[in-house]
Amino acid sequence: MDPLGNLVDWIAVYGIFGLFAIGLVERFLPALPSYGVLVAIGIAADDDVWSLHTAVIATTVGSFMGALGLYLLVRAVGRKRSVTLLYSVGRWVGLSQARIDWTLSSLRARERVLTILSQLIPTVRLISP
């Protein structure tokens, strides 16, 4: 069973919309390895399933729209509800509210360095923004 091969076959059926959709979905599913998907799309472009320019443009636009949608979703939820959710999930895993507050302030103090470094780790790269 070749999951990336099956994914490329599915994308090929839907053409540009499939490329756009995979770019969009990979922003919401961190388990979907974008580097593997993009390599498979590149191999399919080499096999003349679609042009390389079309593949790059469609997946880039899809990925951008996914990132924008995720940003707008978090923005709509708001800071107060996000913090409340974080505290409740923290209680489930045994973290106190003081520990969560300390961690958040520590992360905010180092946000520029963490932003750059988080882009080097594949799964973290998708979640960190």
What's the rounded mean pLDDT across residues 106-114?
Answer: 90
Tokens 């045994």 found at? 94
Q: What is the pLDDT of residue 33?
A: 67
Cβ(59)–Cβ(38) below 8 Å = yes
Proportion of the chain above pLDDT 90, given as a percent: 26
Give me the DSSP letters along 25-67: HHHH-TTS-HHHHHHHHHHHHHTTSS-HHHHHHHHHHHHHHHH
Cβ(4)–Cβ(33) below 8 Å = no
Cβ(50)–Cβ(90) below 8 Å = no
Higher pLDDT, 6 or 67: 67
Tokens 């923004």 found at? 129
Q: What is the pLDDT of residue 9?
A: 77
Query: pTM value?
Result: 0.66
Chain-centre distance for alpha carbon 28: 5
